Amino acid sequence: MHDATIAAIATPLGEGGLAVIRLSGTRAFAIADQSFQPVGKSSQKPSVAPTHTIQFGKIIRDGKVIDEVLLAVLRAPRTFTREDTVEISCHGGLLPAKLVLDTLLAHGARLAEPGEFTKRAFLNGRLDLAQAEAVADVIHSRTELALAAANEQLAGKLSQRINQLRDDLMLTLAHVEAHIDFPDEDISPDTKEALLRRLENAIAFMGELLRTADEGQLLRRGIRAAIVGRPNAGKSSLLNQLLGRDRAIVSHIAGTTRDTIEETANIRGLPIVFVDTAGLRESHDELEREGIRRSRESLAQAELILHVLDASEPLSAADKNYLTEFAGKKRIIVRNKTDLPVKLDLPATFRAVDVSCASGQGIELLKDAIKSLVWAGEINAEMLQVAINSRHQDALNRARTAARQAAEGLRGELTLELIAIDLREAAAAVGEVVGKTTTEDLLDAIFSAFCIGK
């Protein structure tokens, strides 16, 4: 499977200035030779062209010109996949790119599977598994902080720490297995103390990494924030202010929003997925009732609630009910329309952020409140370097559990054979993070989430 030469369109489908088709594998140059006709005295066939050069010419199929292209020749191992690679830049548009790809496939290439180029980079030692995952994080980054975290992981900052952690566990295991091989010699108190100290340091470090899991997942996927409240409280206006553009229809007529609207905004460097919901109230309108039902679903899925109240009206019975209903959720109470005479009197137990969606007043303070609620403390470079994802979290949780059992075994005079089993399990789980211990199913699960051309 991995010996095949693969090809795929590496740029998004659709009209544009350029499209790039990537070809990688042992027959990349032979296939390119059959498809590419050099134009001009200095242009050469891919098989004879120097590495890391650009050749100008045409893609030919059945004697017909498909497109004029620039062809990059990249010889192994100085390529992304560490295989011979050709990258063809043709005119943008779905048809030219498809016909160039079809020409490569007709001459013996196979269509790449999702993420197969990055998978080959991992299998050929170009990247470890954590770095390979960072490639997808770079592509899907929605804020500069998310991109910075992805680039830190791609540069190997997390991998360096994980490899050191695994080395420490393997060194502890080696000491334990050495004493298993010589059963007549007991572990001296000093040696046991040193082993326990190293093991406890490893457990503490795993705890530090695990504490970055929520922040890491927030940077990668964002947090869902539902904007809720009574009809005409200003929910859609608030969404537009947070996005910095008109996304939702704003009207003085109650019940304008009949469906949920989702948009992602960059709030102090964090990707927040705002969901504008239909106003919560009893309604006889069938469409509005469906919108309210969907609002309830969004509320159940939301990790943060922005509860919008109309400051120009007294607190209603419905408002009081919703204040109580959402009390168990992470929430921010937003008192809107403060540019009008304020008639809303909130109980002292409820703190609110005052805004005017008409003028934009208070929106920056609201953004600060959102950031403070979803991300505790400062966002520093060191945290970005080690912000783990959910797969890393699962592996490190298993590793920490096994390491704790090994430490308890050392303290409790457990047999060394059982301690060694726990240490092997801990080291193997840590190794999963960077791909030193893995399975084909795990690799398939990771790389199948990539786009086809990556």
Q: Give all domains of the chain, ordered by start, each with its CATH number.
A: 6-112 (3.30.1360.120), 131-212+388-447 (1.20.120.430), 223-374 (3.40.50.300)
Position 93: which residue type? G
Q: Is the dihedral of CA 63, 66, 69, 75 positive or negative?
A: negative
CA atoms within 13 A on the CB side of 150: 21
Gap between the Cα atoms of 177 and 172, Å rounded: 9
By C-alpha distance, which of 371, 389, 398, 391 is closest to 212? 389
Question: What local confidence, expressed as pLDDT, does residue 254 receive?
Answer: 41
21 - beta bridge partners? 9, 88
DSSP annotation string for 197-255: HHHHHHHHHHHHHHTTHHHHHHHHH-EEEEEEESTTSSHHHHHHHHHTS--S---SSTT
Contacts of 414 (CB under 8 A, 6+ apart): 408
Helix (H) or strand (E) holding 55: strand 53-61
Reading the block at residue 16, the tokens are 């544009």
By C-alpha distance, which of 347, 357, 309, 316 is closest to 331? 309
Gap between the Cα atoms of 416 and 423, Å rounded: 10
Tell me if residue 347 falls in helix, strand or coil: coil
pTM for this entry: 0.74
Place of tokens 């006889």: 284
Place of tokens 């970055």: 212
Contacts of 36 (CB under 8 A, 6+ apart): 45, 46, 55, 57, 58, 59, 60, 69, 71, 88
Q: Is the dihedral of CA 233, 239, 244, 245 positive or negative?
A: negative
pLDDT digit of tens for each residue in the chain (454 aa)?
Answer: 567 999 999 998 778 889 999 999 999 999 999 999 999 999 999 999 999 999 999 999 999 999 999 999 999 999 999 999 999 999 988 899 999 999 999 999 999 999 999 999 999 999 999 999 888 888 888 888 888 888 888 888 999 999 999 999 999 998 888 878 766 566 677 777 888 999 999 999 999 898 888 778 778 778 888 888 887 888 888 888 888 866 544 444 344 444 467 888 888 888 888 888 765 545 455 555 565 666 666 676 778 889 899 999 888 887 888 888 777 788 899 999 999 998 888 877 888 899 999 899 999 999 999 988 887 666 666 667 777 788 899 999 999 999 999 999 988 877 888 999 999 999 999 999 998 877 787 788 788 777 777 7
Question: What local confidence, expressed as pLDDT, does residue 230 receive?
Answer: 82
48 - beta bridge partners? none
Give the tens place of pLDDT for each residue, 110-142: 999 999 999 999 999 999 999 998 888 888 888
Position 268: which residue type? R
